[in-house]
Amino acid sequence: MTAAPGRAGEFDLIARVRARATESSTRDDVILGIGDDAALLRVPANRLLVVATDTLNDGVHFPPDTMPFDLGWKSLAGNLSDLAALGAEPAWATLSLSMRDADAAWLDGFLDGFLALSGQFGVALVGGDTTRGPLSVGVTVHGFVADTHGLRRDAAQVGDDIWVTGTLGDAAAALSQWRAGGAADPTLRARMDRPQPRIEAGRELSAVAHACIDVSDGLLADLAHVCAASGVGARIDVDALPGSDVLRSMMTEESRRLVQATGGDDYELCFTAASGQRGAIAAISAKTGVRMTRIGTVIAGRGVSAFDGQGGAWRAPRLGFDHFGA
Amino acid sequence: MTAAPGRAGEFDLIARVRARATESSTRDDVILGIGDDAALLRVPANRLLVVATDTLNDGVHFPPDTMPFDLGWKSLAGNLSDLAALGAEPAWATLSLSMRDADAAWLDGFLDGFLALSGQFGVALVGGDTTRGPLSVGVTVHGFVADTHGLRRDAAQVGDDIWVTGTLGDAAAALSQWRAGGAADPTLRARMDRPQPRIEAGRELSAVAHACIDVSDGLLADLAHVCAASGVGARIDVDALPGSDVLRSMMTEESRRLVQATGGDDYELCFTAASGQRGAIAAISAKTGVRMTRIGTVIAGRGVSAFDGQGGAWRAPRLGFDHFGA
């Protein structure tokens, strides 16, 4: 096959991905990695397999000016965040990459970001495909939970505290600045482009929490999924939502409430736990270095009600991000 | 959320996929299926996990006039074919679907095809996502092989017979007719749109064959992968390649050789086995109802050499389909 300089055919790209994936991770449980029709993997005894999949499309899930490094990072981070929400230990990933052109330099940048994050959690890239098409990144991740543990959406109980990790709203604020045509604040933009999946926090919380979800579509929307799955309602205090100093310094109170309650892409964990677990959760927060903030209570009924710090009802103009929303 | 008639938001689509997936399959090993952040699955003891992933993009991997049913079928079939090449038993699938519009009728047609094939093999659809974007279908499938079995590309041995299942060339002939602007012969088009993954044959062959690959990029290209991975060469007889009656009736000898040796999308298995296994392979062919044809021999050296029935060297104008080929 012939190829112009700086361009490569599909098999060259696969060879490139394979070489970099192989040098970046060795796991004994990968019997056969990239290079065959399928990967051959060993799941440990007494563990359940956890599988999450997510696709990012150009202009829908990320701005067209997103750097290849950041896209590589983010495409894996969103999936790892789903594993975190189940309290899983990550193990393997596959990558389906559609590109308009076979640009080896772009691919290297993308892999730099993807492999930086996969290396942080010891995740092996074990398969995938590269195809021609509009820029799109599909990632499937695999992890494990103990047979007797694991968090899920449908386990919230009336009377539970509602908690959230880290801070909310930075990613949405960055997107809002970008949409307004300005350069986003670098700190906020970094939160949007390189979210940190809460893997360690999720694993620790699986022993003490009831329900859990990651905040990808917006807190109110995601918490509503927990309520629907668990057959309960929720009451939250929008003024208790944890926000970064940058966010607090640059936004009016009402704008801040909006991005924090409805903005997507934070990839924090929202979880519920019995009030008797407050001490245990404080200990997990100290151990993992991840802030954990109590923001409300699970109540009988259905749906999420939001109130401000003075107890007045607060209504969001919209309930999170729906890719197909009318 | 409001939605115009015949259109649905992302969460409606997910609910639709979830309802249809749930009614079409119940597997005891699915602890948590569609509807949480990730699926929770139980891999049987003494089995290795097999994972394959593949993406189909509009206009690259299928003609724009492909019916939704056929696209649903084909997107799963290509992945199941990868499992077949490892001799695996299929179990679960995830689906990432990007659509320009949230068209519920189109989605139903797509699911009709996807679930018709998944039902045939008892595969449960356990997760995925729907997003807005150019039409693209990403599927990841999971299956099992016994700890001590499984086929792979790198196991061909000098002296092995080279075999192929079914017939070759129908899908490429249909694509060629479609590209020429005519309606493809319905029999050929059906081979292109609804390939039958050779799951049962692959599982039976895992006890007797050495190396195996599925023919998705074209026989010569795929066999070259086996040779490269195994450190061997191959010699094949292009006039021994099995062809359907329709193909034989409509093509000149040279055109037929070309589509059979280089055409993609057949999803047959090409495998190697010791000559002492010919009887066993005939028995598997009889048991599974899948034709198996001996087409060549594994030799010392490297690369694939093709000869015609008279022993003259035969050279293909091109070596299979490369999505990024220059």
Interval B151-194: pLDDT, tens: 999 999 999 999 999 999 999 998 888 888 878 889 998 898 89
Instruction: Compute the distance between CA of residue A57 and CA of residue A289 in angstroms, rounded to an integer.
Output: 32
> pLDDT over 70 for what percent of chain B?
93
Q: What is the pLDDT of residue B11?
A: 60
Q: What is the pLDDT of residue B18?
A: 87
* B-interface mutation test, from A2, A47, A53, most B Cβ less than 10 A away: A53
Per DSSP, which regions of chain B are E strands?
30-32, 39-41, 47-57, 89-99, 124-132, 136-146, 161-165, 212-215, 233-237, 268-273, 292-299, 303-307, 313-314
SS3 call for A151: coil
Query: B6 pLDDT exceeds 80?
Result: no
Nearest residue to B140 via CA among A104, A15, A92, A195: A92
Both tokens of A223, joined, read 């918490």
CA dist., res. B124 & res. B115, Å (int): 9
Q: Contact B214/A326, CB-based, under 8 Å? A: no
Q: Which member of A128, A142, A326 has the closest CB to residue B9?
A: A326
Could B42 and A53 be called an inter-chain contact, meaning their C-beta atoms sit closer than 8 Å? no
Burial B209-242 (b: 16+ CB within 10 A, else e): bbbbbbbbbbbbbbbbbbbbbbebbbbbbbbbbb
User: Is residue A5's pLDDT more than 50?
Assistant: no
The confidence score (pLDDT) of residue A178 equals 84
Q: What percent of chain B has pLDDT over 90?
A: 66
Please tell me the number of Cα atoms within 13 Å of A36 on its side-chain side. 26
Give the pLDDT confidence score for residue A62 in this predicted structure: 84
Give the chain A residue nearest B82 (alpha carbons): A37
Record: contact B9-A37, CB cut-off 8 A: no
pTM of this prediction exceeds 0.95: no
Exposure of A177 by Cβ count < 10 A (0-12 exposed, 13-18 middle, 19+ buried)?
middle
Q: Find chain A residues with C-beta within 8 A of B40's C-beta.
A: 48-50, 86, 145, 150, 152
Give yes or no for B128 touching A (CB within 8 A).
yes
**How far away is chain A from the Cα of B195, in angstroms, using its nearest Cα?**
17
Backbone angles phi, psi at B273, to 5 degrees: -155, 155
**Could you write out the DSSP letters of every residue in A221-282?**
HHHHHHHHHHT-EEEEEGGGS---HHHHHHS-HHHHHHHHHH-----EEEEEE-GGGHHHHH
What confidence tens digit (pLDDT) does each residue in B203-239 have?
A: 999 999 999 999 998 999 999 999 999 999 999 999 9
Q: Encoding tokens for residue A34?
A: 């990239």
Return the pLDDT at B196. Answer: 95
B9 pLDDT band (50/70/90 cuts)? low
Confidence band (pLDDT; 50, 70, 90) for B321?
A: very low
Q: Which residue has the higher pLDDT, B198 or A187?
A: B198
Q: How far apart are CA B88 and CA B143, in angstroms?
A: 6
Instruction: Kindly give the interhelix angle for B104-120 and B10-24, rounded to the nearest 10 degrees.
Output: 30
* The predicted structure's pLDDT at residue A230: 97
Answer whether B324 sits within 8 Å of A57, measured CB to CB: no
Q: What is the pLDDT of residues B254-283, one digit of tens each?
A: 889 999 999 888 999 999 999 999 999 999
pLDDT(A323) > 60: no
What is the arithmetic mean of pLDDT over A59-75? 90
Q: Is B126 on the interface with A (CB under 8 A)?
A: yes
CA torsion angle B303 B306 B307 B313 (round to 10):
-70
Contact across the interface for A53 and B326, Cβ inside 8 Å: no
The answer for residues whose C-beta is within 8 angstroms of residue B135's C-beta and 6 or more apart is B57, B58, B98, B99, B100
Q: How far is A276 from chain B (nearest CA, A)?
A: 26
pLDDT of residue A1: 28
Average per-residue pLDDT in chain B?
A: 90
Q: In what order do the strands lie in the sheet with A47-57?
A: A124-132, A89-99, A136-146, A47-57, B39-41, B30-32
Using the beta-carbon criterion (under 8 Å), do B326 and A9 form an inter-chain contact?
yes
pLDDT tens, residue by residue, A11-36: 677 888 888 888 877 799 999 888 88
- Per-residue pLDDT at A3: 31
Contact list, A60 vs chain B (CB under 8 Å) = 131-133
- Among A37, A50, A154, whose Cβ lies nearest the Cβ of B52? A37
Higher pLDDT, B197 or B64: B197
Angle (nearest 5°) at CA B271 between B265 and B276: 155
CB A249 within 8 A of CB A300: no
Residue A318: pLDDT band with limits 50, 70, 90: low
Closest CA to B49 of A142, A96, A80, A36: A142
Please give the interface size between A and B, counted as residue pairs whose CB atoms are below 8 Å apart.
231
pLDDT tens per residue across span B81-125: 999 999 999 999 999 999 988 788 999 999 999 999 999 999 999
Please judge whether A229 and B7 are an interchain contact, meaning their C-beta atoms are less than 8 angstroms apart.
no
- Tell me, yes or no, if A3 comes closer than 8 A to chain B by beta carbon: yes
